[in-house]
Chains A and B, each alone.
Chain A
Amino acid sequence: MTVIDTSQPPSEPARRVADFRPSLLLGEHSLCPGCGEPVALRVLLEVLQELDIVQRTIGVVGHGCYGSFVRIMDVDVLQCLHGRAPACATGIKRVRPDCAVFTMQGDGDMANEGLQEVLHAAARGEKITCVLLNNGVFGDTGGQLTAATVLGQRTKTSLEGRDAETHGYPIPVADLVAGLRGAAYVARGAVSTAGGVAQTKRMLRRAFETQLAGAGFSLVEILTMCPTGWFVPAPEGPGYLGDSMEQAYPLGELTTWRH
């Protein structure tokens, strides 16, 4: 009995998973080895493709290492000012309500420079999806303290580690947003493990489904590795994330909207 027909050669050549590239990726990223942001980009693009909304999607990208993704994502994109992506996305969505509109921002971009923008967009129930790539540092500028840096973490502007007395406490953006009525879907994932990547992808999918259903604002906070900004070897990034950020920022869905 033939379970699988092997009389013909495979339709596609064998490849390693790492070689697979979603067709929306136009080229190689230029970020550090071990960086978590390209993983997040990849699952985001896969979700757009799977939802079949590629040709009605507009992205708004903030300022951080992920800013260079503007060059490699085959999506209509506005590169906006530091922190202002939710406001720009609001303007876009209001004049193009049939488009899926998302932002891509880091913790410096969203929790520092643009905390007001994301909170108000959420409170307005703006039908956009904000994606926060939280690595707990300003990666792009070389690893300084952000509002999301966890207590104890060393950065170039908290050399002895973040202590609350001097630097205050970290801001859990997803939790803040989840407390607002206009937020219909809020979740926090991490791309430090294979399971985490799969979970994050499901979260992004639900966030976009929430937007497409017109239910309200959605946000997915994604914990990403920044071995460079954390001053740890690239292979240790995922473990470090699990020991530090994941302890301060528990993973899971905080607000879910049901059909």
Chain B
Amino acid sequence: MTLELLEGSEAIAASAIAAGCRFFAGYPMSPFTGLLENMSRQLPLAGGVCLNAESEIEGVNMTLGAAAAGARAATGSCGQGIALMQEAIAEAALNETPFVVFNMARNQQDYFQATRGGGWGDYRTITLAPKDVPEAVEHVQLAFHLADKHRAPVIFYGDPLLAQTRIGVSVRPLDFGPLPPKDWALDGTGGGTGGSRQVWTWAMGKATDPGPGPDRHWRAIAEKFAAIDAIESRSEQAHVEDAETLVVAFGSAAKFVEYVVEELRADGHRIGWFRPVTLWPFPGEALAAATADVRRVLVFELNAGQMLDDVRIHAADRSAVRFIGGVSIAESGLAYGELMDAPVIRDRIRTALSEGGRS
């Protein structure tokens, strides 16, 4: 396995193309811009199309169109740009158009946006939050797979460290198993046959072949997301067996936490870590089990406490949950602030350890 020294954005683009992505549209916004530039360089070489869209709204709707026509397609942005896309992401969830949204976020303040969404209707978005570039390469392809498997938009939650770190990685197509055929996709051949296809949030069908209509369709969508919730949550954990304290973190922050926890264990502390790999579905059952015997559950994230809500919902005892994260942004506003740093995280954990937990 030969490693190539690739910048995160470059590796993510290469992995998307290896997954068969053939349409990409986006609007520049740092640190997403690197992915857009890499796609515009790499995608045409693979026979695909990358458009510098005139706005995030256009970008996501172009992507929705390409995906409705059956292509593997993706768009991306961060923060405000993803906010502009919410209407279309919700629409795609409800009209069952699969594509991937790369949120190359500036920080971890988009957790609510990703897991609750700002669109309308009873929908959720599967959200993958890799901890480093090698895992990001895998998650890119998993995102396309899950999108097609469930006919739903999937969010890839990246950050400046994933976008800009250069690391030796190997990008090749990964096989996640068989997928249902895209016989629903619009290819134009249905016209005049009496069986023309439609992609429609209201799902009313054709006059000659009525569909379920919004009531039944939206109930079915809600049931679909409940089923996804039951089967697609992913998590990682370590040292839960003997841990008195469990630190919960996601994405890059989880990699930092893992590093610090290993150091603290070397110093003799009984501490472990837990990482939601999917932010939605949140691995609630796994977290409940992991927190059953601990005295403290520390939540570290670089925002004012967003995942904290999910940890409180699922922890075995919510009174054991303490927040040790916070808002922390670089002066530029484009990257993490000083909280994303092992020594600082170690201090915060040590302070929490010195305070009591539940007995």
Give the interface centre of A24, A54, A92 by most chain B CB atoms within 10 Å. Answer: A92
Contact A54 to B61, CB < 8 A, known contacts A78-B186, A96-B69: no
Chain B CB within 8 A of A58 CB = yes
Chain A to chain B contacts (Cβ below 8 Å), 5 pairs: A57-B191, A74-B191, A75-B191, A79-B201, A91-B69
Which of A81-89, A207-215, A217-225 has 4 or more CB atoms under 8 Å from chain B? A81-89
Q: Render B29-71 as a binary contact track against A, CB cut-off 8 A, 1 for contact.
A: 0000000000000000000010101110111011111111111
Do A79 and B66 touch (CB < 8 A)? Answer: no
Do B71 and A95 touch (CB < 8 A)? Answer: yes
Task: Output the nearest chain B residue to A97 by Cβ-Cβ distance.
Answer: B49
Query: How would you classify the secondary structure of chain A's contact residues: helix, strand, loop or mixed?
Result: mixed
| Segment 115-132 of A: residues with Cβ below 8 Å from B | 116-117, 120
Contact A90 to B62, CB < 8 A, known contacts A27-B208, A55-B188: yes
Q: Render A40-67 as a binary contact track against B, CB cut-off 8 A, 1 for contact.
A: 0000000011000011111010000000
User: B202 to chain A: which residues have CB within 8 Å?
Assistant: 79
| Segment 169-188 of B: residues with Cβ below 8 Å from A | 186-188
Give Cα A77–Cα B190 distance, bound, in whole angstroms.
9
Q: Return A168 CB to nearest CB of chain B, in Å.
A: 23
Give Cα A23–Cα B62 distance, bound, in whole angstroms.
31
Chain B CB within 8 A of A71 CB = yes
Give the B-binding residues of A (Cβ under 8 A): 23-24, 26-28, 48-49, 54-58, 60, 70-81, 84, 87-92, 94-96, 99-100, 116-117, 120
Cβ-neighbour of B65 out of A27, A28, A56, A88 (below 8 A): A88
Q: Return A175 CB to nearest CB of chain B, in Å.
A: 20
Task: Output the nearest chain A residue to B208 by Cβ-Cβ distance.
Answer: A26
Give Cα A24–Cα B197 distance, bound, in whole angstroms.
13
Contact A92 to B73, CB < 8 A, known contacts A54-B192, A70-B204: no
Q: Return A131 CB to nearest CB of chain B, in Å.
A: 16
Q: Lowest 3 CB-CB distances: which A-B pairs, in order?
A: A91-B65, A27-B207, A88-B65
Q: Return B194 CB to nearest CB of chain A, in Å.
A: 6
Do B205 and A96 touch (CB < 8 A)? Answer: no
Do B194 and A90 touch (CB < 8 A)? Answer: no
Q: Return A45 CB to nearest CB of chain B, in Å.
A: 10
Give the interface centre of A28, A49, A54, A56 by most chain B CB atoms within 10 Å. Answer: A54
Q: Return A73 CB to nearest CB of chain B, in Å.
A: 8
Chain A CB within 8 A of B131 CB = no
Do A81 and B191 touch (CB < 8 A)? Answer: no
User: A78 to chain B: which residues have CB within 8 Å?
Assistant: 65, 68, 186, 198-200
